[in-house]
Each structure stands twice: as structure tokens, then as C-alpha cells.
Structure 1
């Protein structure tokens, strides 16, 4: 490099260093230091006293010009608190650092921190404020730079007309944040008593909206959605008017028959030792009518209020003797049976008192050792009992048909 070029570069370097020194010194409030640093080092020491007074004056005039050129008058507003100040900062970020204004990701700075500064500029800083917002039942955390609830609602685009607010619209929002519940006005329609009832409400529950519509639930009345559910805009809720109660129905429970073998009875003979009795099953049903329409009964519970009693039947296992060992064995019992009953073992006369082949009454039958009714006994037993009666009384019990025994 030529001596001339080297000299020009040296002078440019000294000038740049001088301007930076002025800005740094101005920030520290040191007005003498820039002037001292503008003096060439060659003038230090004894040589400084040799300089003409004119050169010192020129140097002071040049330093002051550079100092004044870097000074800027700007207006800084931090969260609405505005002031005008003088600064040597080159850009917005440098200004905020010099003024110890710290900003975060949710804060707004206009112009942006990297934008250059010029005298007369305005810089605004608005701090972000956290709001825990529950909007129509849905909770979320949002950030706003508004200072009041009203401003935050406008900033967040929340419709506040007719809405419920847990805090007044003029309430302040500090930098610590705010818990805010908002229920916007919604349209809910209730179908009740045969017609729609539409209401505009900011209620927290369907039950509150029902009351706002001038409707009530009575007795067993209910709705198509739970009373404590959140009412949605445009929702249609059915109101069901319910009447009814309980109905009790008794039905018989059949008894069983238990048979016991009895060797004292002739084979083929059955007697009822104990008659059976049906029980009672009681069932309770819920019956109701919904909006005038009767519903199918619903079974609640059943209980056996009376147990059935089993019927006990004695079944004969004894083989009756074929003969009595007397003169009755040789008589024509078949002919007399045809005369008395038409030969039918189960025949019963019109009075109902006499039955069987030989039309014996029940008292006579039991006296002869029979069980139950004569018409229920096997034919062989009926003939055996009739022979025993003949041996006791002859043909007297059969005044009309007794002569048939001897034909």
C-alpha cells in the first residue's frame, strides 16, 4: 500500500473508533471522555504542551459535533406510561436494553426490537397478561395485552353482549393474570306441553335455562338431557311429562302332587290324603304415562306371598282277595252291576251320593273298609266290598236289582 493510502485508512479507523467511543461515553453520561479520546495519542505527554491553542479548540469543536449528531429524542411508552427521552441507541432493542425494559414472547413491541431509531420516533411496549378463560364450559389459557376485561374480550373476539361475566367489564387485568368465566348468550328451545318454548339465556345449566323459559318439572317429569348439563346454542330439549305409580298383580302358583305307596289299599286304588292348595306370587310393576302415552309396565320385583301346598295321594299296592269265602262268591254279580250302574265302575247317580258298580254310598263304603269313593276304586275291589255287604245284609241294600244275583 502507498504511503498516501495507508494514511487515509489510518484516518478512517481513527474516525470510526472515535464515533463509537462518543456513543459509549454518552450512555455513561461522561461528556469529557469523548473529547479526550479524540486527541491523537501522539499529542500525549510533553508534546501536548507544544500544540497551538487553535488545534485544541478545533478538536473540541469536532468532538462536540459528533456527540450531538448521535443524540436522538424519542418517545417511549411502556404499558401506557409514556415519556420522552434522549438516547444514543441505534435501534429499538438497544433502547430497551439501555432503559432496562425486559420483554417476553407474549409482549408486544412496536416498532420491532431490530428496527433502527431516528429522532422523533415513538416506541410502544405492551406487556402480555395471562387469562385463564372458561368460555361456555371450555377452559383454556390465553394471553392478552389489554388492561381491562372489556379490552381482553374485544381482543379475543368474544361476544360480550348478553353474556355472563365473572368479573365486571371494567375490571383491571394485572400482569399476574386473571381467572375469567364467560357464558355467552345462547338460544335454547324446549319442547313442552305440545309446543316449543324458545329462550335466549346465558344460564350455566339446562335446568336454569328451563326456569328462564318459565317451565318447571313436576313429580316424575324429566328431560331428554340431564338438568346439570351445559346448554348449547341452538339446542332442542324435550320435556317429558310423566304420571303413574305402581301396580300389584297376584297370580296363582300351581301345587304339585306327591304320591305315596300304601300297602293297606288294594292295588289300583288311590286316595287323597291331603288336598293341594295353590300359592300366590305377587309382582309389582311400575306403570307410567309419558306425554299422554301409556308406556309398557316395567317389572320392579316379585315375591312369593303364599307358598303352594302339595297334594298327597296314597296309592294302593295290595292285591284284594278275589273271594270272601262265603255264599256270595257264587252269585251273579255281573248281572246286578248291569242293573245298578250299567256295568260302569265310575257311575254316579243323579243325587251324587251313590257311586260305582253297585251304587254304594260313601258311608257304607268306608264301613266295609274302602277308602275314598267307591266309584274311584278298581272294579275287583268294588265287587269284593259288595260281597262283604251281602254277607252282612243280604239283598236289602239293593231292593230292585238284588234279585239279579240269583239269575
Structure 2
């Protein structure tokens, strides 16, 4: 806040402003009778008129009284009355001015005020009887002038009455009340039954600047010159939690076939950040929004995927068709499943036909194709030397497939029929079996 002071001697505008202040004058008749102690003019002698007894009107910060004095000038009068003035105070007329009976002497004690002029804050000394007079003096500085009340707990303080002997407007909470202004601002607010808390702003300005209009007041009420304005300030801390997305890291492995979907090694998780902001509103309008704290409350964890680089071996060639009636036919001549239906084509093609007969097409066929590619690469003669699993579905042991035909060792259709029944009974669908295989490396 900028600090400013008035000149030690009043300007012409200031002197005129304070001498125009309305005040009550109490006149007393000047004593004229001679007394034993009275001053007498002798023959050939002269007594200066300025040293004669006289009555003057003394206005100290709006408190007016008539004073009898023998002082010859304003400075002498102030000394008689025990009134000390500083270079910041305003005295009119000047202290060296001669006094005459009926003279008016005005003293305005300077007070330091916080003010706002056209939106900028200042601290300055003003010699005025009340806030209305101070606003008049300060009006030459800008078009929008207000006295800003200092705050102490739930009190608002400006070291001036608002408008002596006049009414003032109190603007608050969308309402306007009119009360006596011959008090300081805190008492005026109390008279208007307005309570404030430690955050609220209180200022004093002219009623026009505060937007006070006749239609805002009860019928017959004149618009006051001065207004005390209460602005409701709310300060709220708002907490928000923001997501920190997890990173994804892909590792390559030559132990996994490249045509398989990436395997999840670590699920990972998203993290979180907690942000606290302080939001300030004045009469419901946001004026500031500041970040107070921002901290990571949950650290994110990286998701790790394993991507295969291993190439699948070429499928084994299909066996040549047998010449005897007991042997299985080749892919070109067709294979019969346990239902007696004949299928033609490669083992993979036979599997697709038999799966489609069950309604397993689209994604279900894709899952089945991936599952048995992983298990046997669709070879009906492949055997696992360590476990003994055999054939296209890698039945363990292979002899289980005899339930679907004695040719289980040589007929791909028999193996496929057994494998499809096994999947349906244990997992419901090929995708159920494929999901289990991906998670456990067996089905």
C-alpha cells in the first residue's frame, strides 16, 4: 500500500471544503460594559483592536463552540485553548491570521486512512471532520474514491464519523438500509443490524458510487450522500484428486510365439495426485483461485507386457491317405468324425467346419484356432515326449480320444470331435479355454 501525506498547509480547495461544513453556531453577545478590571482607553493612548476581548466560533473536527478570548491571532487562540496542531492538520484561517469578534476558526485534525482510488490502494493523511468531508477532499484524486475500513476481529474501523447530523446508506447482502451517520462505521453497521465476520470487506464511499438509488429506499427517503458498503468474502479450500495414468512397458521374449497376444507380466496401476486450491469469492463472484498444495498421494505402477518374438515352426505335412479301409483317409479324400459326417481339407479347415457346426464362428473360431495352434500347430500326429499328450487337442493321455473313435491316433476329425466336446464340457466355449491357457499355459 502506498503511503502519502497532505502538505502541512491547507490548499485553497481544502480550506473551502472544511469551511463549508454545516455546523451549529452558538453566538454570544460581546461584553461592552466597563468593569473595575476593564481595559480603558486614556487620553492620547491607543490599544490595538486585535488585543481586545472578542468572541469567536471555534470548530474542532466538527464540534463547534463559541469562545471568548483576548488573543490577537489564531495561533494565540489555539494556545489559550490548549489545542496542539501538526504540520498535517488543517487550520483555517492560517495561524498567523488576526482575530476579530465573530471570526470562524476551523481546525481539522489529520488522520491516516486507507483509501482506494480508481481501484488502487493507498494510505494517506486526511484532515477532515467526517467521512463525507474526507471524500470531498479526496474526490480531486479520482472518480472512484472509497475509504477502506481496517479490520480487528469482527469490528470495522475508520477513525471518522461517517456524516455528522445526516443519514447514511448501508449497502449489504443485496439490500440498502438508511441510518444515522453521526457515528463511526462499526456503530453504523450495528444500527443497521448488519453483522460481519473477519473476512468481509467494509468501505465508505459516496452513495452514487455505491449505486444507491431512490427506488432502493423507502418512499419519501432522500438519497444520502454517503454509503457504507459491506462485501461478503468467502474463502474456501477445495480438494480434487487427479489420476496419474500408469506407464506401459513392453518386454520381448524369444520363449513366446510372436503370433500370440502380449502376456501381462505386471498389471500395474494408475496413481493419484491430490490438489488443494483456495477459492475466494466476493458477493458470490470468484476473484481468485490459487493452488495451495499439490502432492502425489498414490504412486503409479508400470504395467509390464511380454511380447513374443519366437517364430512358430511350419506345420507338419498331412499324412498320405491310407489304402486300406481301416485307415483314416487323407485330407484330400476327407475324414469322418464320430457323427459319421465326412469333412475335407486340411486339419485346420476340418476344425473350422466342425466348430461352425456347433455355432463357434467369428471370435470363437479365432480363439480355437489360436489355442490349438499353440498346442500342436494342428498336427494330428504330434506327441509331447515329456507328458505324453497327443494329437491336435493334446489330449493327456491320448487314449482318452478313443471315446470318439478307435482311429483316434490317425484321424484328425476324431481328435477334433473329442477336443470340441472337452472344451464345451470344461470351459463352455473356445474363448473360455483360450483365456485359461493364456493365464496358466495349459487348458
The TM-score range, normalised by the shorter chain, is 0.3 to 0.5
TM-score by length of 2: 0.40
Larger helix proportion of the pair: 1
Structure 1 or 2, whichever has the larger Rg, is: 1
**TM-score with structure 1 setting the length:** 0.43
